[in-house]
């Protein structure tokens, strides 16, 4: 049973973690620990189809529809095998309008688990589509899928408020 004040302490801790992460890169934020805490608190859940790609104990959850209004769409994690060099392109749509795009190049191996829990901007969006481009073959293989994280808007707002407050103190912006 959760003691009084425990939820607020966890939210504060992960707000500080977000601030430190953004302070390192100024662009990307790692959401893994934040979502883990939200799962533990029962404040967030995933819905969709679990694909064959898994990062224990996390699975990639994929759906082909819009996230409900007021919820946040973010990238999740994936394991690619065998070894593949590829480019990952983020297309973030808000209300069917392209609002954000980024491209990163990675190398995947059997022994490497890596996550895409980094996004270059914070958006309360609806649809996020990623295209993985295989750069090791002469042809270009496009794999499109959509993932969503369900986080109640009021919980997200509290986290972000604490995050920006902490950011101003620790990073100075």
pLDDT value of position 59: 29
Dist CA 17 CA 137 (whole Å) = 39
Enter the DSSP assignment of 1.
Answer: -
DSSP run (H or E) holding 167: helix 153-170
pLDDT at 162: 58
DSSP state of 145: E
Q: How confident is the model over 82-100, as pLDDT tens digits? A: 333 333 333 333 344 444 4
**Predicted local distance difference test score (pLDDT) of residue 17:** 56
Distance CA 114, CA 81 (A): 12
Q: How far apart are CA 41 and CA 33, in angstroms?
A: 12
- Cα–Cα distances in angstroms (integers) from residue 32 to residues 29, 65, 82, 95, 169, in the given order: 9, 23, 24, 26, 23
Closest residue by Cα to residue 115 from 138, 140, 149? 149
Tell which residue, 154, 88, 157, has the closest CA to residue 117. Answer: 88
Q: pLDDT, tens digit, for every residue of 10-69?
A: 556 655 655 554 444 333 333 444 444 444 444 444 322 222 223 232 223 322 233 333
Q: How confident is the model at residue 5 (pLDDT cuts 50, 70, 90)?
A: low
Read off the pLDDT of residues 99-152 as tens digits, 9 standing for 90 and up. 443 333 333 322 222 223 222 222 223 333 444 333 443 333 333 333 334 445
Q: Is the whole-model pTM more than 0.75? A: no
Position 11 scores a pLDDT of 58
The pLDDT of residue 24:
43
User: 26 and 42 in contact (C-beta within 8 Å)?
Assistant: no
């Amino acid at each position: 049973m959760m003691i009084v004040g425990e939820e607020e302490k966890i939210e504060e801790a992960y707000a500080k973690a977000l601030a430190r992460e953004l302070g390192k890169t100024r662009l990307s934020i790692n959401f893994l620990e934040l979502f883990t805490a939200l799962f533990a608190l029962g404040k967030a859940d995933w819905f969709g189809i679990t694909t064959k790609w898994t990062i224990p104990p996390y699975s990639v959850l994929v759906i082909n529809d819009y996230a409900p209004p007021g919820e946040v769409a973010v990238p999740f994690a994936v394991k690619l095998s065998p070894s593949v060099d590829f480019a990952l392109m983020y297309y973030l749509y808000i209300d069917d309008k392209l609002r954000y795009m980024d491209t990163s190049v990675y190398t995947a191996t059997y022994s490497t688990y890596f996550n895409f829990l980094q996004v270059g901007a914070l958006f309360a969006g609806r649809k996020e589509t990623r295209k993985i481009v295989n750069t090791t073959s002469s042809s270009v293989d496009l794999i499109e899928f959509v993932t969503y994280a369900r986080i109640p808007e009021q919980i997200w707002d509290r986290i972000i408020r604490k995050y920006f407050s902490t950011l101003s103190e620790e990073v100075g912006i």
